[in-house]
Amino acid sequence: MARALAALAVVTVAVTLAFGAAADTAIDDFSGRWQGKVLRQAGNGVATGLDPRELVVHMRVDDDGIELRWAAISMADAEGGQLTLDQMQAAFEPTDGPGVFTARKIKSRLLGKTRTGNPIEGKPFVWARHTGSTFTVYTLQIGTDGGYYLDQYSLTLIEGGLALDFLKLLPNGRLVIRGLLERTKG
């Protein structure tokens, strides 16, 4: 299993390098339903274990802005075979900056339903950016101890799908998730 997961990670990087990112794309090109497998790697850049996940991303772009929903299913307890579902939904509106969007509202299992706000007051600050062929969502949170938590969730259009790169910076390490998503119907 570990070899298969390592092979998927190598293929992900190879496909991204071989096909490269699509030329500058319109934000509308991200619209649709995308699905694929991703690999989760914990630690300080060293694989302490790989956790495969199934990821589904829905993105809708209209005159009011962008709605982004994603759900990840993973094995929470490999021995017990228990599945976990993590979901997040965010609505973004354009700002005066080209390709920069601010979150109107967010909803997740961890954060509950909230508006983006001041991280010092316990509210996550969420924004997004579209540049070239990549759409990136950033989430900044500050813990009660003053430590920071920064998520960077990048979707890059490549030939045949989307390359996903997720990075969570924590006070004591980082979490990396990478994968390839294909456009699906639905």
Bigger pLDDT: 180 vs 186? 180
The strand ranges marked E within the chain are: 32-43, 50-62, 65-77, 82-94, 100-108, 112-114, 125-131, 134-142, 148-158, 161-170, 173-184
pLDDT tens sequence across 14-43: 333 334 455 578 999 999 999 998 876 655
Q: What is the pLDDT of residue 18?
A: 38
Q: What is the pLDDT of residue 110?
A: 55
Bigger pLDDT: 162 vs 50? 162
pLDDT tens sequence across 121-134: 888 889 999 999 99
Integer angstrom CA distances of residue 113 from 88, 108, 153? 10, 7, 19
Bigger pLDDT: 114 vs 182? 182
Q: What is the pLDDT of residue 169?
A: 87
Highest mean pLDDT among 39-53, 65-79, 83-97, 98-112: 83-97
| Per-domain boundaries in the chain | 2-184
Q: Which of 2.40.128.20, 3.30.70.100, 1.50.10.10, 3.40.33.10 would CATH assign to domain 2-184?
A: 2.40.128.20
Contact indicator for 138, 128 with CB cutoff of 8 Å:
yes
Contact indicator for 105, 114 with CB cutoff of 8 Å:
yes
Does the pLDDT of residue 3 top 50, yes or no? no
- Tokens 């969570």 sit at which residue? 168
Give me Rg for the CA atoms of the chain.
17
